Amino acid sequence: MGAHLHEIDLFAPQVQAGLLGLRGELRKYNEVINDVREFAAKTFDASLSADNRQALIENLRVAETTAGSVAERIADKIHELLRQMNT
């Protein structure tokens, strides 16, 4: 999306705002996915105590839930943007 940001002025202001909001959501999603990967990789660390492993698994579950919520918002924003562009 960043590679075509210079072309955003081709769209109506409402669509431009939506595209920029979508860009922010995509950044957030990528950050959360990086957290998921990091937490998942750490679950293989044999030196973790049982308490730390449990806390890590809980953090992983929260991050997975957050990723799902952000993905849903992205899908909703894309749907709304397509609706706006087709009206």
What residue spans define the domains of the chain? 16-85
Of 1-10, 21-30, 33-42, minimum mean pLDDT range? 1-10
Q: Specify the pLDDT at position 87.
A: 75
Calculate the average pLDDT of the chain: 92
Ramachandran class of 44: left when φ > 0, alpha when ψ lies in -120 to 50, beta otherwise: alpha
| Euclidean distance between the first and the last CA atom of the chain, given in angstroms as a whole number | 22
Q: What pLDDT shows up at residue 63?
A: 98
Instruction: Return left, alpha or beta for 45; rule: phi > 0 is left, psi -120 to 50 is alpha, else beta.
Output: beta
